[in-house]
């Protein structure tokens, strides 16, 4: 099973989308969905495959960080 972490769309130039993960790392992606800067999305193999609700994306990122912090304590 694959896990994709929500990424934020930073810019779009033609067919290239720049996305940023929660750690601030940026990547160039292709897309199969319509996006605008500020949207959150899910990616797979350098392709944006789905647009995600901003609130849901932020909740998921928050939960992933909480789990990661808990694991570091153990």
CATH number reported for the structural domain that contains residue 14 in this entry: 2.30.30.140
Please check whether residue 20 lies inside any domain of the structure: yes
The pTM (predicted TM-score) of the whole model is 0.86
Identify the domain containing residue 48 by its residue range. Answer: 7-73
- Residue 49 sits at the vertex; the CA angle it makes with 61 and 7, to the nearest 5 degrees, is 25
The pLDDT profile of the chain, 74 residues, written as one tens digit per residue, is 567 899 999 999 988 999 999 999 999 999 999 999 999 999 999 999 999 999 999 999 999 899 888 877 65
Integer Cα distance of 68 and 64 in angstroms: 6
Give the Cα separation of 53 and 73 in Å (integer). Answer: 31
Q: Is residue 16 part of a domain?
A: yes
> For 1-74, where are the alpha helices, taking DSSP H only?
54-73
Determine the pLDDT at residue 11: 97
Number of domains in the chain: 1
Domain for residue 2, yes or no? no
Q: Is residue 1 part of a domain?
A: no
> What is the pLDDT at residue 9?
98
């Amino acid at each position: 099973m694959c896990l994709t972490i929500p990424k934020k769309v930073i810019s779009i130039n033609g067919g290239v989308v720049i996305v940023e993960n929660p750690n601030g790392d940026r990547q160039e992606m292709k897309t199969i969905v319509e996006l605008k800067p500020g949207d959150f999305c899910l990616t797979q193999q350098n392709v944006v495959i789905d647009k995600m609700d901003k609130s849901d994306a932020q909740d998921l990122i928050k939960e992933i960080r909480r789990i990661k912090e808990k694991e570091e304590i153990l």
